[in-house]
Chain A
Amino acid sequence: SQTIHQWPATLVQPVGSPLSLECTVEGTSNPNLYWYRQAAGRGLQLLFYSVGIGQISSEVPQNLSASRPQDRQFILSSKKLLLSDSGFYLCAWIPLGLDAQFFGPGTRLTVL
């Protein structure tokens, strides 16, 4: 079956520390993958999307970067976290044969 995983579920990090969030999908190949952020009480902001290995498109300039080292793995990173990086991070994908985005369970990041 086609599924999406995200970890960790929650994360508390100090300002200036690095970040690595991982998203993996199963049951498909060459999926389109997306990273979104939700700030508290706000809508979804598309951060990055990828149509294949090593292919990353950035939607907004920011303190974050993304990589896709393997076909079904999408990683969100930062070298030095800012307070404004706090939020709920969602990975999404379009499963093979479908036309809707499906979302992972999300990671709640708090930067102190």
Chain B
Amino acid sequence: AQSVTQLGSHVSVSEGALVLLRCNYSSSVPPYLFWYVQYPNQGLQLLLKYTSAATLVKGINGFEAEFKKSETSFHLTKPSAHMSDAAEYFCAVRGRIGNQFYFGTGTSLTVIP
């Protein structure tokens, strides 16, 4: 069975500081991994995905994530936080077989001016 764990339900960073949102996955085979962002009262928007190509994945809005099999991690980073990055972020995993997605509980990012 697949699952993801997001460490830290709330993260606060100063504007211009590094953003690091943590996600660890559990899967018996290398999974597909995703990061989504959700702004208030909106649906989830895909930030980036890992599907077994390059382990460092670049997404929209300057975000990137690195797949580390040895650590079963897929942490999301951005070198310099912007006020507009304040939102809820979800990590998700999809098995190689089947079409079910499993979401983490989310991390709320606050950017302090």
- Any chain B CB within 8 A of the CB of A49? yes
Please, how many residues of chain B have a CB less than 8 angstroms from a CB on the other chain? 21
Chain B residues touching A, majority SS: strand
Stretch at the interface among B21-29, B60-68, B75-83, B101-109: B101-109
- Least CB distance from A52 to B in Å reads 12
B46 to chain A, nearest CB (A): 5
A15 interfacial contact with B, CB 8 Å? no
B94 touching A99 by the CB < 8 A rule?
yes
**Please, how many angstroms separate the alpha-carbon atoms of A75 and B101 in the complex?**
20
* B55 interfacial contact with A, CB 8 Å: no
Q: How far is the CB of A106 from chain B (nearest CB, A)?
A: 5
| A104 to B56 CA separation, bound complex (whole angstroms) | 28
Query: Smallest CB–CB gap between B101 and chain A, Å?
Result: 5
Q: Is A106 within 8 A of B41, CB to CB?
A: yes
Q: Pick the contact of B34 from A34, A51, A100 — CB < 8 Å?
A: A100
A105 surroundings in chain B (CB, below 8 A):
42-43
Determine chain A's interface SS by DSSP, over half rule: strand
Task: Scan residues 16-48 of chain B and give those whose CB is less than 8 A from a CB of chain A.
Answer: 32, 34, 36, 41-46
Q: How far is the CA of A51 from the CA of B94 in the complex (A)?
A: 16
> Quick check: B43 and A90 within 8 Å, CB to CB?
yes
Q: Once the chains bind, are B43 and A108 in contact (CB under 8 Å)?
A: no
Of B36, B94, B99, the contact of A49 (CB 8 Å cutoff): B99
Distance (Å) between the CB of A50 and the closest chain B CB?
10
What are 17 inter-chain pairs, A to B, with CB distance below 8 A? A42-B105, A43-B90, A43-B103, A43-B105, A44-B103, A44-B106, A46-B101, A92-B44, A92-B101, A99-B32, A99-B49, A101-B44, A102-B46, A103-B36, A103-B43, A103-B44, A106-B42
Closest 3 CB pairs of A and B: A103-B43, A43-B105, A103-B44
Q: Which residues of B contact A (CB under 8 A)?
A: 32, 34, 36, 41-46, 49, 51, 90, 92, 94, 99-101, 103-106
